[in-house]
Amino acid sequence: MDFLNYDILDCCGAYGRKANWDDWVNGLDFKIINGPYFSIKDCNKLSQEYDELHFRSAMGIEFRVYLK
């Protein structure tokens, strides 16, 4: 992996929900920071542009998903 071409997408819980792993695997919605809503069902599309998803809260990164 070339770290110079490593793309990370920052996300948070949708609709005021805190991002958590159980919601991710159960297919609930999340929000791309300054972008649209998405869920685990969108991983194939997201992996075309991003290597990793960072799910954030006010406390920092809650968890990460590696797409590649």
What is the Cα 26 distance to its own chain's centre? 14
Q: How many domains does the chain have?
A: 1
pLDDT tens digit sequence for 5-54: 579 999 999 999 999 999 999 999 999 999 999 999 999 999 999 999 99
Q: How many residues does the chain have?
A: 68
Which residues fall within 8 angstroms of residue 27, CB to CB, at 6 or more apart? Answer: 39, 40, 41
Instruction: Write out 1-22 in H/E/C secondary structure.
Output: CCHHHCCEEEEEEHHHCCCCHH
Please report which helix (H) or strand (E) contains residue 23, including its range. helix 21-25
Is-above-0.75 flag for pTM? Answer: yes
Domain ranges, residue 59: 3-66
